[in-house]
Amino acid sequence: MELHVVSHPLVDHKLTVLRDKNTPSSTFRELVSEIVMLEAYEATRDLLLEDKPIETPVAPMVGKRIAPPRPMIVPILRAGLGMLDGMMKLLPTAEVGFLGMKRDEQTLDIITYANRLPDDLTGRHVFLVDPMLATGGTLVAAIHYLAERGAREITCIDILAAPEGLKRLEQDINPDINVRVVVAAVDDHLNEKAYIVPGLGDAGDRLYGVVD
């Protein structure tokens, strides 16, 4: 697993406003979108290109375009949806799949409650998006779910990560899967409720309001 922490003054500034508990949901959603675009710029660095002959108004030339098959963006519901808009702005030709996974707050087990993904992901570069890499349980389960469908190039884009979650990814992911993790920051630790500290609270609630 390869970790990339995006280091940029714009990311640091936006992240501080995002973390502030007084930031309203509307601003929070905009900031998530902006931060994910800055992260996606780094996360898409390894996309394969092919030649594309074109004619400019002045001369013919051979340009570049993203090589098929089309990349796949997979937000993990619910909080990952908040990152979809920014990802699609940067990668408008990508396809979008959905994976509904959540943590049982009592047992901390991962439950898959929805999926809308192609059966065959062979050769596809998958961008798995979820704002909070906390225990790593959801992400490990999601990565193996995608790998069972043939994905071997998986880039996870998270806003914040906890060291505990990164360690778990390192230990639990099948080494045959090429996993890259792009984050805006690695925080200090997880608290007893598995929240990232200092973190930003419950990302889903801050994006969409609390649902009981």
Question: What residues are designated binding site for uracil?
Answer: 196, 201-203
Binding site for ligand URA (CB under 6 A): 79, 132, 134, 195-196, 199, 202-204
Contact 5, 159 (CB under 8 A): no
Of 71 and 199, nearer to ligand URA (C-beta) is: 199
Q: Which two tokens stand for residue 159?
A: 């806003």
Residue numbers annotated as active site: 103, 107, 202, 205
Least CB distance from residue 195 to ligand URA, whole Å? 4
Packing angle, helices 9-19 and 25-43, rounded to 10: 150
Of 94 and 140, nearer to ligand URA (C-beta) is: 140
Least CB distance from residue 105 to ligand URA, whole Å? 10
Q: Indicate the annotated binding residues for 5-phospho-alpha-D-ribose 1-diphosphate.
A: 78, 103, 130-138, 202
Least CB distance from residue 62 to ligand URA, whole Å? 46
Q: For strands 95-96 and 132-133, give the pairing.
A: unpaired
Q: Which two tokens stand for residue 30?
A: 């905009």
Least CB distance from residue 71 to ligand URA, whole Å? 25
Nearest-angstrom CA–CA distance, 176 and 163: 22
130: nearest Cα among 100, 112, 106, 156 = 156
Of 14 and 206, nearer to ligand URA (C-beta) is: 206
Nearest-angstrom CA–CA distance, 97 and 73: 6
Of 101 and 121, nearer to ligand URA (C-beta) is: 101
Q: Indicate the annotated binding residues.
A: 78, 103, 130-138, 196, 201-203
Nearest-angstrom CA–CA distance, 148 and 155: 16
Neighbours of 122 (CB within 10 A): 10
